[in-house]
Amino acid sequence: MSRYIEAGLSDIGTLGEYVAERPNKGFEPARRRAGVSHTTVSGPKLAVAVMAVSAVCCPCGCQCVLVTPLSPRSFTLCAHIIDTMNTLVDGEWRTDAYETTNEDGAFDRQDTTFRDRVEDDPDARFQPEAGRYHLYACRACPWAHRILVARKLLGLEDAITVDYVDPFRGEDGWQFTPEKAGCTPDTVNGSDYLREVYVEADPDATCRVTVPVLWDKQEETIVNNESEEILRMLDTEFDDVSDNDVDLYPEGYQDEVDRIIDDIYEPINNGVYRSGFADSQSAYDEAVEELFDALDHWDTVLEDQRFLAGDRLTEADICLFTTLVRFDEVYHTHFMCNHKLIREYDNLWPYLRDLYQLPGVAETVNMDHITEHYYTTHPDVSPKRIVPMGPDPDFEAVHDRDELPGDLPETLFPTA
Ligand SMILES: N[C@@H](CCC(=O)N[C@@H](CS)C(=O)NCC(=O)O)C(=O)O
C-alpha cells in the first residue's frame, strides 16, 4: 500500500498538467523511455490509472506509483526520477529541474560552474600554499579519482587535505556519512551535504552539485570543480609545496598531452556515460561504437609505447586510468559497454596494471565504493540496486610494460 499515491484526484490532475506543461523538464526523457504518451499521463487518465492499477503511473515506467504531492505544484516523485533531477537553482535544492538527455535521447553533460584558478603568481587571488586548499571527493567518481591519483603522485598529500562523501548519492545529493568505511565528515565546513558547501561559496548557485571540488579555506569559497582544470593546477602550480619533483605535464610533451586528454574525453571518459545513460537505441549505438573504436585505437598505440604520450607518464594517463580501472567491474555491465572487457585487450590491460602498480595508486582505488555508487545511485539504469558479484580483476598481476622505452620519475619511489 505504501507504494500507492496518497492524494486526492485534484492533485493527480495537477500533476498531469505539470507533466504536459514541461515536456522538456526531466519528465520527457523518462516518459520517452517508458513509452508513455502524454495523454496517458494527463490528469483524468492518470487518476483513473492510479485508482485502477499501480502500473504506468510514474512517467519513468518503473511501475512505481507517483507518491505524495507536497503542494499542488510540487511533487515528490519516485526515486527513479528524483535521482536524475537534483540540482541547485538559485541556492535552493530542487528535485524537478535537471535534464540528463536531449531530444534525441543522448546524454547531455552540463558544464561545470566554478572555474577559478590557483596560480603560482604573487598577484594571483588564489596562490599555492600548503594547507590552504581542501578537496571534496568521492572515491567512486572517476573525475574526483583523477585528483586523488594526482595528489598522490605529485606528493601533495600533506599540502592539500581531503574529505570523502558517501558513495551512494540519493535524493539529497552527496552526503557526509563519517560512520561508513572509507567516508569522512566535512572537516572544513561541518556540513551534512555537499550542496551546503556550494551554497556557502555562492548563495545563489544554480548548478549540479558535483565532485571533485577544490575549496579555498582562506577565502572560504570554491576555486574550481572541473577535474581537468584541478588536475592541471595541482601539477603545474604547486611545485613549491609538493614533496617531490614529479611533473606530469613535462615540457616537450604538453601539446600532445592536451591533445590526448581531449581525444579520450568524449569517446571514452564521457563515452561510458553516454552509453549507459542513452535514452534511445541510436544514441547508445553511436556512443558505444565510438567508445570501442577509441579503445581499439589506444590499444594499438600502447603496443609500442609505455604511456599514452610516449615514454613519459603524464596527466593523460591519469585521465584514462580512472575510466579503465572501473570498466570491467562497472561500465561493462551497468552501462552496457559489454562488447569487450579491458582484460581482453593485449595492451590496455597490462597498461592498466602498470598504472595501478605505481606507488600509492592502488590505495586510491576503492572498488567497494565504486560498485556501490554506480549500481545503487542510478536506479533508472539498475533499478534493483543490487551490486553484482563482479569479475574482481587482478590489478596486481605482473606485467612487462617496463620493458618498453621510458622511465618513471625517480622520486615516485621513496628510497627509505
Ligand atoms: N566535468 C566534471 C564532472 C564531475 C561529475 O559529473 N561528477 C559526478 C560524480 S562521478 C557528480 O558529482 N555528479 C553529481 C550530479 O551530477 O548531480 C569534472 O570532470 O569534474
Q: What are 280-313's pLDDT values in tens digits? A: 999 999 999 999 999 999 999 999 999 999 999 9
Place 337 in a pLDDT band, splitting at 50, 70 and 90.
very high
The whole-number average pLDDT for the span 229-236 is 98
Lowest mean pLDDT among 45-59, 246-260, 375-389: 45-59
CA of residue 50 to ligand 1 center, whole Å: 36
Separation between Cα atoms, residue 264 and residue 116, nearest integer Å: 24
Q: Region 272-280: what's the mean pLDDT? A: 95
Higher pLDDT, 259 or 75: 259
Regarding the beta carbon of 141 and ligand 1, being less than 6 Å apart is answered yes
Which residue lies with its CA nearest to atom 2 of ligand 1?
226
- Mean pLDDT of all residues belonging to the chain: 83
Q: Is the pLDDT of residue 318 over 80?
A: yes
pLDDT at 35: 42
Q: Which atom of ligand 1 is nearest to the CA of 140?
A: 10
- The CA-CA-CA angle for residues 89, 90, 94, to 5°, reads 30
Instruction: Tell how strand 161-164 and strand 92-94 pair up.
Output: unpaired
Is 208 touching ligand 1 by the criterion CB < 6 Å? yes
Which atom of ligand 1 is the closest one to the Cα of 138?
9
Q: Which of 14-28, 186-200, 310-324 has the lowest mean pLDDT?
A: 14-28
**Least reliable range by pLDDT among 52-56, 72-76, 278-282, 311-315:** 52-56
- Domains of the chain (ranges; CATH) run 86-244 (3.40.30.10), 247-415 (1.20.1050.10)
Q: What is the pLDDT of residues 345-373, one digit of tens each?
A: 999 999 999 999 999 999 999 999 999 99
Cβ–ligand 1 contact at 112 (below 6 Å): yes
Residue 195 Cα to ligand 1 midpoint, Å, equals 13
Question: To 5 degrees, how large is the angle CA 267–CA 268–CA 270?
Answer: 80
Q: Atom 5 in ligand 1: which residue has the minimum CA distance?
A: 210
pLDDT recorded at residue 36: 41
Task: Answer whether 76's CB lies under 8 Å from 68's CB.
Answer: yes
Q: What letters, b where the CB count within 10 A reaches 16 and e where it falls short, cover 288-327?
A: bebbbebbeebbebbeebbbbbbebbbbbbbbbbbbbbbb
- pLDDT category at 43 given cuts 50, 70, 90 is very low
Cβ 226 under 6 angstroms from ligand 1 = yes
Q: How far is the CA of 43 from the centre of ligand 1 (A)?
A: 35
Instruction: Give the pLDDT band of residue 96 (cuts 50, 70, 90).
Output: low
CA of 112 to the centre of ligand 1 (A): 8
Residue to probe by mutation, ligand 1, list 139, 175, 197, 208, most atoms within 8 Å of CB? 208
pLDDT of the residue at 16: 46
**pLDDT for residue 90 is more than 50:** yes
Distance, in Å, from the CA atom of 167 to the CA atom of 217, rounded to the nearest integer, reads: 24
What local confidence, expressed as pLDDT, does residue 336 receive?
Answer: 98
> Is the minimum distance from the CB of 211 to ligand 1 under 6 angstroms?
yes
The verdict on the CB of residue 227 being under 6 Å from ligand 1 is: yes
- Answer whether 67's CB lies under 8 Å from 78's CB: yes
CA of 84 to the centre of ligand 1 (A): 12
Decide: 210 in ligand 1 pocket, CB within 6 A.
yes
Ligand 1, residue 169: give the atom nearest the CA.
14
Ligand 1: centre distance to CA 400 (Å): 34
Q: Whose CA is nearest to atom 10 of ligand 1?
A: 141
Q: What is the pLDDT of residue 109?
A: 78
Nearest-angstrom CA–CA distance, 216 and 221: 5
Atom of ligand 1 at shortest range from CA of 110: 1
Mean pLDDT of 77-97: 67
> What pLDDT does 415 receive?
58
Ligand 1 pocket check for 191: Cβ under 6 Å: no
Give pLDDT tens digits for 119-158.
Answer: 999 999 999 999 999 999 999 999 999 999 999 999 999 9
> Please, which pLDDT band fits residue 69 given cuts at 50, 70 and 90?
very low
pLDDT of 169 higher than 80: yes
Q: What is d(CA 272, CA 73) in angstroms, rounded to the nearest whole number?
A: 35
Query: Is the Cβ atom of 270 under 6 angstroms away from ligand 1?
Result: no
Q: Which of the listed residues 81, 113, 194, 210 should we mutate to test ligand 1's pocket, taking the one with most ligand atoms within 8 A of CB?
A: 210
Upper half-sphere CA count for residue 20 (Cβ side, 13 Å): 16
pLDDT value for 249: 98
Q: What pLDDT, on the 0 to 100 scale, is given for residue 34?
A: 42
Residue 221: pLDDT over 80 = yes
pLDDT band at 70 (very low <50, low <70, confident <90, very high): very low
Q: How confident is the model at residue 100 (pLDDT cuts 50, 70, 90)?
A: low
The answer on pLDDT for 113 being more than 80 is: yes
Distance 5 CA to ligand 1 centre (A): 32
| Mean pLDDT of all residues in 207-212 | 96
103 vs 301 pLDDT, higher one: 301
The pick from 82, 211, 369 for probing ligand 1's pocket by mutation, whose C-beta has the most ligand atoms within 8 angstroms, reads 211
Q: Please compute the mean of the pLDDT values over residues 251-258 and round it to a whole number.
A: 98
- Percentage of residues of the chain with pLDDT beyond 70: 77
pLDDT-based confidence at residue 97 (cuts at 50, 70, 90)? low
For residue 205, name the pLDDT band (cuts at 50, 70, 90).
Answer: very high
pLDDT confidence of 8, banded at 50, 70, 90?
very low
Residue, of 380 and 307, whose pLDDT is higher: 307
Question: Which residues are the active-site residues?
Answer: 141, 273
How far is CA 9 from its chain centroid?
39
Question: What does the pLDDT read at residue 170?
Answer: 92
